[in-house]
Amino acid sequence: MFINFQALGCRLNEAELETWANQFMQRGHQVTTDVEEADIVVFNSCAVTAQADRKSRQQIGRLQRNNPDARLVVTGCHASLNPDAVKNYLGVDLVVDNQQKEQLVDQTLELVSDRDGCDGLSEPVVGESLNALLMRGRHRGFIKIQDGCRYRCTYCIVTIARGAERSRDEAEILAEINLLHQQGVREIALTGVHVGGYGSDTGSSLYRLLSEILEHTEIPRIRLASVEPWDLPGNFFELFRDSRLMPHMHLPIQSGCDSVLRRMARRCKTVEFARLVDKARNAIPLFNVTTDLITGFPGETEQEWRQTMDFVASTGFGHLHIFPFSARAGTKAARLADQIDGSIKRARSREMHVLAAELKQRELGQHLGNRAEVLWEQQINSHLGQWIGYTPHYHKITSMDSQINASDISEVSIDSISGDGSMLVNEICPPQIMLEDIEQHDARI
């Protein structure tokens, strides 16, 4: 059978898709990127914001219309928070709760067996061909190291949807990384709901896990997904002396005002966050710190907002993910007094986007004239031979070097910034960069 995989939301959702894809392939089934070709479509949904909830519903409908004959399996946070509703969506054949994701492949094949009279088995795929990641057009492997979170930030629905913290066995993680490396993957990113909480239930830690990965694997590039800033020990950035650890971390601050952070039940003050960023930048030159920020949290005054703007400007983030506050039923923040009007939330979001663009220009400008090892991920314009890749600092870069191949890591010069200010340019690339192609590529990923 042909299986198609779809995800909305976090890198953890992507990591889970890769695991399931490999499990289906081990049982002899094939991965397809064409929804219309698929016998089974698996959708890993999201519910981090009200907009994500809406997009999940829309995507389920879209998948059903594109291939009404396929078996449609829906899992993820949207499905876990709204199981009865999702079961009744047109075309949905199976809903798998987040707590049952390890049984998703078995449940799906059992469904097919019961309804279609097929035992769900075929000839196993073995050897180097067993690489669902590359078959899905991905060149960075997302490694799920844990699930769930023991904290309860007042705005967060994901901890409710994902449940208690559960860390994967270190040996299992190392084996997965080594297998991906053998299959041609050059970069991995460790992901989870609460990455910094890895080992809280097993007596281990993120520091120990990274040390084990550096010692017992040879994969060239290692990244971390979002890590809460309060989880890192004082010696954490010593690990980055090993150049295989990429000099970038996503440390979500959410607000630059301590009184707002208290209402969010965040466990980090702005002065502590600033101290952490200084440690990173003092230890590793040009260390890139990116973050998340919520605008218009309940009760956020104009003075508090100005504090946030000042903090973000002084910290100098390389990139910001900016979200107007989204009240999620079941969270404490949804019940707080002084909910902010939508027009104010949107205005503050626009103001922060302007600042974020200025900070990104400053960040990218620091790299001009340098050289960088780039992992090339995708050719976005075959006519011009235009490639997109990422530097170690997680900056997007484009080139038209005819020697590039997907998954190559090559050293190039950083010569300029693209006209729209979104990425770096290796100027073997001629001036007629097709920004519309880049935008289409971004929409796909």
pLDDT tens digits along 92-138:
999 999 999 999 999 999 998 866 655 554 544 444 344 555 544 56
Sheet holding 92-95, edge to edge: 30-31, 2-7, 40-45, 71-76, 92-95
What are residue 73's DSSP bridge partners?
Answer: 42, 94
Which tokens is 270 given? 């702005």
Say whether both 229 and 316 belong to one domain.
yes
Which of 365, 398, 424 corresponds to the end of one domain? 365
Q: In terms of Cα–Cα distance, which of 410, 367, 141, 392 is closest to 249?
A: 392
Q: pLDDT for 175-190, tens place per residue?
A: 999 999 998 899 999 9
Q: How many CB atoms lie within 10 A of CB 43?
A: 25
Question: Are both 401 and 356 inside the same structural domain?
Answer: no
Give the end of a domain, one of 96, 128, 160. 128
Tokens standing for residue 11? 């890198």
**Mean pLDDT in residue range 286-309:** 98
Both tokens of 245, joined, read: 């650890």
For residue 57, name the pLDDT band (cuts at 50, 70, 90): very high
Could you tell me if 411 and 285 lie in one domain? no
- Are 296 and 337 contained in the same domain? yes
Q: For residue range 9-44, what is the model confidence (pLDDT) as tens digits?
A: 888 988 899 889 989 988 999 999 899 999 999 999
Q: What's phi and psi for 174, nearest 5 deg? A: -60, -40
Q: Which two tokens stand for residue 445?
A: 């990923």
Whether residue 212 contacts residue 170, with contact meaning beta carbons closer than 8 Å, is answered with yes
Q: Are 14 and 136 in contact (CB under 8 A)?
A: no
- Lookup: tokens for 290: 């990116």
289 C-beta neighbours (distance < 10 Å), count: 22
Same domain, 91 and 208: no
For position 129, what pLDDT does the model report?
A: 41
Q: Do residues 183 and 310 share a domain?
A: yes
Q: How far apart are CA 13 and CA 47, in angstroms?
A: 12
Higher pLDDT, 55 or 159: 55
The verdict on 192 and 242 lying in the same domain is yes
Distance CA 317, CA 6 (A): 31
CB atoms within 10 A of CB 212: 15
DSSP 229: G
Average pLDDT over residues 342-363: 97
Question: Do 289 and 433 fall within a single domain?
Answer: no
Q: Which of 128, 155, 190 is the last residue of a domain?
A: 128
Q: Are residues 333 and 419 in the same domain?
A: no
For strands 40-45 and 288-295, give the pairing: unpaired
Structurally, how many domains does the chain consist of? 3
What CATH number does residue 419 fall under?
2.40.50
Does residue 147 sit in the same domain as residue 238? yes
- Is the domain of 105 the same as that of 248? no
For the segment 257-283, what is each residue's pLDDT rounded down to a tens digit?
999 999 999 999 999 999 999 999 999
- At residue 328, φ and ψ (nearest 5 deg) are -110, 120
Q: Which residues contact 35 (CB under 8 A, 6 or more apart)?
A: 4, 6, 41, 63, 66, 67, 70
Does 114 lie in the same domain as 210?
no
* Tokens of residue 314, six digits: 């002084």
What's at 210, amino acid-wise? L
Amino acid code (one letter) for 125: V
Task: Give me the domain span that covers residue 49.
Answer: 2-128
CATH code at position 284: 3.80.30.20
Comparing CA positions, the residue from 161, 233, 166 lying closest to residue 199 is 166
Q: What is the pLDDT of residue 124?
A: 47
Specify the CATH number for the domain of residue 12.
3.40.50.12160
